[in-house]
Amino acid sequence: MKQSIYDQIDTPSLLIDHAKMENNLLQMAELCKSRNIKLRPHIKTHKIPQIALRQIKLSNNGIAVSKLGEAEVMLRSGIRDIVIANEIIGQQKILRLSKLMQQGEITICVDSVTGIRQLDEYLYTGGKRLKVLIEVDTGMNRCGVSKIDQASNLIQEIDNSSKLTFSGFLSHSGNIYAASSQHFLERIAVDEATQIAAYANHFKSQGIPVNTLSIGSTPSKIHLDKIEGITEFRPGNYIFYDYIQVCLKVASIEECALTVLATIISRPAKDRVVIDAGSKCLGLDRGAHSNQLTNSFGYIKEYPHAVIERLSEEHGILKVDKNEVFEIGSKINIIPNHSCAVTNMFDEAYIIENAKVKDIWRIEARGKVT
């Protein structure tokens, strides 16, 4: 029987196609360079220090993270410039943040007077000032201010603090994942930049320096050529892409660099095949932000027409063509619907190059939810 690299890998496992990943990294770095916009990759998608180090080498800039725990892992790997694209609330977290400030250049988001006052009360800065970005809600309806007056209030409050410095504005139009057409996708991408630039222009005209205007999501990359006035682009998913990006026409199947390797463990009926990867590996996403883009819990590269119809924790149940051959024991590659959620469920990833296992990398920042 013909040997395959998959014979060496137990399942379910996470595989990264190194050449595809590198291509995605280079293309994004090139795109940002061509637009004279700094690239600050969000590492929430991979959570792997080796990849973050490669990203900053290409972008000559820092990274973005979601959580203090992710920042702690990345600082340990030697990365110094980190934006925590999130609000940090509560004494315990602010004490951890104080420690991080001693090790690197940390920036965080604020969107409330209460949050700013907590930072002022609990942060010990050792004479340093913490850079803060005011988060702007550009349509996602998550965190962030939605009026100039609110931002003005916050800038005043930051000014009153001896521990904080106002650095600029940050937004993330995650609602782009719910765009019902390419037209809306473009509108959301351009609108995010237009809105945040309006905040900057307002305060600049009052003599307030605004150094950073940080926006971004992976889908908005396709309209980066129409975006003006921002300083920093912060995509995360682009490193691997996933089936949701394919459904949104942001990426092609060929560009998807992350797969879950699974084994066919049963064919109890002609139209039903069962695999050993369930919701604990593939996640339950079928779209984002209330937009269901696919009826399958992933795209099977070897069987593009099979639908992963149901998941229990350890099983994936496929609806298949009665006449198609599925051998029990054979292995299949699944492009997950949402790669960021899937990496969070594995301890390590196999790095595949030239049809060989080049390395195994630990997903060190997985599960860092605090």
Ligand X SMILES: Cc1ncc(COP(=O)(O)O)c(C=O)c1O
Instruction: Give me the residues that bind ligand X (CB under 6 A), please.
Output: 42, 44-45, 64, 85, 172, 174, 216-218, 234-238
Q: Give the shortest CB-66-to-ligand X separation in angstroms.
A: 6
Nearest CB to ligand X, comparing residues 59 and 217 = 217
Nearest CB to ligand X, comparing residues 196 and 332 = 196
Asked whether the bond before 12 is cis by omega within 30 degrees of 0, the reply is yes
69/254 Cα distance (integer angstroms)? 33
Amino acid code (one letter) for 192: E
Nearest CB to ligand X, comparing residues 65 and 262 = 65
Nearest CB to ligand X, comparing residues 174 and 298 = 174
Q: Give the shortest CB-277-to-ligand X separation in angstroms.
A: 22
Nearest CB to ligand X, comparing residues 256 and 275 = 256
Q: Give the shortest CB-119-to-ligand X separation in angstroms.
A: 19
Q: Give the shortest CB-55-to-ligand X separation in angstroms.
A: 12
Contact present, 187 and 223 (Cβ < 8 Å): no
Q: Give the shortest CB-241-to-ligand X separation in angstroms.
A: 10
Amino acid code (one letter) for 75: L
Nearest CB to ligand X, comparing residues 46 and 163 = 46
Q: Give the shortest CB-73-to-ligand X separation in angstroms.
A: 17
Q: Give the shortest CB-54-to-ligand X separation in angstroms.
A: 17
Q: Give the shortest CB-42-to-ligand X separation in angstroms.
A: 4
Nearest CB to ligand X, comparing residues 289 and 305 = 289
Structure tokens at 63: 């990274």
Nearest CB to ligand X, comparing residues 139 and 174 = 174
